[in-house]
Amino acid sequence: MKNIEKYHILLGSKSPRRRELLQMMRIPFNVVTISGVEETYPYTMPPREVPLYLSGIKADAYLPHLRDNELIITADTLVILGDKILGKPHSHEDAMATLRSLSGKTHQVVTGVTIATRERRTSFSSVTDVTFGQLTDEEICYYVDNFNPMDKAGAYGIQEWIGGAAVEKIDGSFYNVMGLPIQRLYKELQIF
C-alpha cells in the first residue's frame, strides 16, 4: 500500500483482537492508548449509528497528539439485538443473561472505524448478522466460567468455543464480529 507508506500507523485501541487482526494483515503499526476518553453518545441516536460516532470520538481524542507523518485507526464494536445495545457484561450474572438473550436469535454486530491524519479523515461502518442456535444454561455457564466474556461486547468472542457451539449462520464479515472489519479497512487504506 504505497499511498500510506509515508505514514507511521497507530492503532488507538486496547483490544488484543484488533491488534491480532491488524498484524494478520502485515500492516506495520504501533498501539497507542489515551485514558479517559468519554465514550458517551446521545440517548436518541439510533443504535446502529453509535459505533461510528464513538470511533470518531476516539479519533478526535488522538488528533491533537498526532505528528504530521502519523495515521491513527480507531474503532468501536457493538452487539445489537433488536434495538437494544448489548455492551460488555458487568458480572457473571450479566454475561449469563446476555447470552441467554442471544440464544436462538439473530443479532447484529456493528463496527465503526475511523482513519485519520492531521489533514484527512474517513469513517465507515460494517454490519454483520449473526444467528445463534439455542444454548442451554449448562452451555452458557460453561462458556462464562471458562472464557473471558467480560471484555467483549455481547459477552462473547466468536473465535472462542462459543463460536463453534452456538453460531449457526453469519451474514457479513467474520472479522467484524471479532472487532475489526479488516477487508474493508484494507480497501479503505488503499484509497486513503
Per residue in 121-172, pLDDT (tens digit) is 999 999 999 999 999 999 999 999 999 899 999 999 999 999 999 999 999 9
Q: What is the pLDDT of residue 35?
A: 84
Residues annotated as catalytic (active site), given as ranges: 76
The dihedral region occupied by 104, where left means phi > 0, alpha psi between -120 and 50, and beta the remainder, is left
Q: What is the pLDDT of residue 5?
A: 83
Q: pLDDT grade, residue 102 (50/70/90)?
A: very high
Residue 108 has pLDDT above 90, yes or no: yes
Rounded CA-CA distance 43/176 in Å is 25
Rounded CA-CA distance 161/140 in Å is 11
Rounded CA-CA distance 54/104 in Å is 29
Q: What is the pLDDT of residue 71?
A: 97
pTM over 0.85, yes/no: yes
What average pLDDT does the chain have? 95
Q: What is the pLDDT of residue 34?
A: 86
Residue 1 has pLDDT above 70, yes or no: no
Provide the sign of the torsion angle of the four alpha carbons 63, 66, 69, 70, taken in this order.
Answer: negative
Rounded CA-CA distance 92/180 in Å is 26
Output the CA–CA distances (angstroms, integers) from residue 85 to 26, 46, 77, 108, in the order listed: 32, 10, 10, 10
Q: What is the pLDDT of residue 38?
A: 87
Q: What is the pLDDT of residue 105?
A: 98
Q: Considering only CA atoms, which of 153, 171, 152, 176 is closest in space to residue 21?
A: 176
Residue 4 has pLDDT above 90, yes or no: no
Residue 2 has pLDDT above 80, yes or no: no
Q: What is the pLDDT of residue 182?
A: 96
Contact between 72 and 116 (Cβ < 8 Å): yes
Burial class of residue 191, CB neighbours in 10 A (0-12, 13-18, 19+): exposed
Q: What is the pLDDT of residue 86?
A: 96
Q: What is the pLDDT of residue 39?
A: 87
Q: What is the pLDDT of residue 54?
A: 97
Q: What is the pLDDT of residue 101?
A: 98
